[in-house]
Structure 1
Amino acid sequence: MNSTNNSSWWRRSGTFWAGASLIVSTFCAWSAPFLAEPAFADAEHNKIANAILNLQESSQRWIEIDLAKQRLVAWEGDKSVYAIVISTGKDGTPTPTGTFAVQTKHRVARMQGDDYDVPDVPFTMYYYGGYAIHGAYWHNKFGTPVSHGCTNVAVNHAEWLFNWADVGTPIIVHK
């Protein structure tokens, strides 16, 4: 290959790459708004991940609720001390994700909504508005989302959690 042919090849290939670059940059500019849509989800995910990392680096007691696995784990720093199967919110009444803390504790509470009225709900720990971790004596479908958004726990497990956690105990809820 002589130098004339070689430089001609570079010019041609340079034109190709310039054109390809233009196509790629145009596609990226066009698709950027669509790629940016999950930013809120990513920010929430990062906040939850950072909270978990910070709690694991401490010796603090905290509660993890995993909606995808329908599991609750009580932690002391990075050591799990209690793990149970739970029942969280159905699709129409989901359990909110985020970082919370136990706000109030009630040995017995009455829970009411548009389509339910349950007296004597045992070992209730509210952590976000009307959302709570509590005992559920009215079903045995743990491992399946069936609640109106609360975290349902078998009564004996709810009692253990109630006695272990204090007001202010962090609660991390994630998918």
Structure 2
Amino acid sequence: MQTMAIEGSRSMARVSFKLATLVFGALLAGVVLAQGAKVSSPVELARRADALKPGQWVWAPRIAPSGPVLVYVDLSRQVATIYRNGVRIGVSTVSTGKPGHATPTGVFTILEKNVEHHSNAYNNASMPYQQRLTWDGVALHAGGLPGYPESHGCVHLPYAFARELFDATRRGTTVVVTGDASHAVTTDSADVLAPSAVVGEQAGEFWAPERAASGPVTIVISRSDQAVVVLRNGVEIGRARAALPADSDATHVLTLGTGATGAPAWFYVGVAGHANESGRPVDEAVRNRVQVAPDFYAKVAPLLLPGTTLLVTAEPLSQGDAGTPLTVLNGREDAPRSGER
């Protein structure tokens, strides 16, 4: 009887241990879900932002290392897209306002930034990497990501993504919030180019460097469109046809530097999923696979200075117009702070 009692106790202990392990595992999974993935997903996953699972994100800032930043939050798809110099450099799942606490839509500017902010309205809740959009409490910050809207109006981001975004923005950065969280829609991925960069002469060829007289230059070549776009300081200044093989879905980022002989040369940049390419020069055979009209190249050539970035993508350059104008919300420093959170 004593032996049976001991064995029974051991069995109960094993069961209790297993249950505790399962409970701890479930709690840990909840923590991971709340915090989001710690590392970026491969850059190709940004092609279909809808394929990102809650907490997943893509961050490839070297695609456009400098230039103005735009944050575009789509409530319908629960996705945030980050553009720099008019080119997408990041995509992340988000969680926005739940029913009764809807996240407002419109065009905002970041009013203040705080790494370790705590809510004044919701039990001193932690709001890491907070970037305030309104003085009454709406902000971007790291938070829970259950896969559906569940915040009190803020835009929740994965913790590691929120940290990266915090470092990339500044006070005054534009944040566009659009869509309807209560009516989710299934759409294609966000445009390669920022909405403000694809209006106007989207389909036609043109060259208008006067649109942006100075600033960082980024060149985008689309395999699907067989076209090349030139952006300066986030503004599209030129577009033309480009012929290149459409035999790959891989995304490649290159930067213009100086080769071994001292002549200008293109080098691969290692982005998420392509770290092994970093620093490798582009050989002659690869360059010959891309054909651009000589007269257009002659116009672009003077802009090709060290640090110029080239993005080769399978994505279309745009997927329709930029939509109807959005309300511009008050972002003045002297705006009322009543109810600040």
Same fold at TM > 0.5: yes
Residue in 2 aligned with 1:117? 123
Alignment of 1:129-148 (within 5 A): 129=135, 130-136=137-143, 139-141=144-146, 143-148=147-152
Output the amino acid matched with 2:94. Answer: I
Question: What is the TM-score normalised by the length of structure 2?
Answer: 0.32
Counterpart among 72, 83, 89 of residue 75 in structure 1: 83
Question: Displacement of 1:79 after TM fit?
Answer: 0.9
Q: Deviations over 1:128-157 (max 9, x none)?
A: 121100011xx341x310000000111111
Distance, in Å, in 2 between the alignment partners of 1:81 and 1:169 is 15
Distance, in Å, in 1 between the alignment partners of 2:79 and 2:108 is 17
Output the amino acid matched with 1:135. Answer: A
Q: Deviations over 1:15-58 (max 9, x none)?
A: xxxxxxxxxxxxxxxxxxxxxxxxxxxxxxxxxxxxxxxxxxxx
Larger Rg: 1 or 2?
1
Q: Deviations over 1:47-103 (max 9, x none)?
A: xxxxxxxxxxxx521100000000001101431101000000012100000000111
Tell me: higher relative CO, structure 1 or 2? Use CA pairs within 8 A at least 6 residues apart: 1
Secondary structure at 1:147's aligned position in 2? coil
Counterpart among 170, 177, 181 of residue 173 in structure 1: 177
Counterpart among 150, 155, 158 of residue 159 in structure 2: 155
Alignment of 1:14-29 (within 5 A): none
Distance, in Å, in 2 between the alignment partners of 1:117 and 1:163 is 27
Distance, in Å, in 2 between the alignment partners of 1:121 and 1:170 is 20
Distance, in Å, in 1 between the alignment partners of 2:159 and 2:85 is 25
Distance, in Å, in 2 between the alignment partners of 1:87 and 1:71 is 8
Residue in 2 aligned with 1:32? none
Output the amino acid matched with 2:134. Answer: Y
Output the amino acid matched with 2:118. Answer: R
Secondary structure at 2:161's aligned position in 1? helix
Distance, in Å, in 2 between the alignment partners of 1:77 and 1:151 is 23
Question: Quick check: 2:129–2:142 contact (8 Å CA) kept in 1?
Answer: yes
Distance, in Å, in 2 between the alignment partners of 1:163 and 1:107 is 10
Aligned length: 112
Question: Quick check: 2:116–2:126 contact (8 Å CA) kept in 1?
Answer: yes
Counterpart among 99, 102, 107 of residue 107 in structure 2: 99
Secondary structure at 1:128's aligned position in 2? coil
Closer/same/farther in 2, CA of residues 74 and 167 from structure 1, 3 Å limit: same
Structure 2 runs not aligned, ≥5 long: 1-66, 180-341
Distance, in Å, in 2 between the alignment partners of 1:72 and 1:146 is 16
Structure 1 runs not aligned, ≥5 long: 1-58
| Structure (1 or 2) with the greater helix fraction | 1
Identity within the alignment, %: 28
RMSD (Å) for aligned C-alpha atoms: 1.3
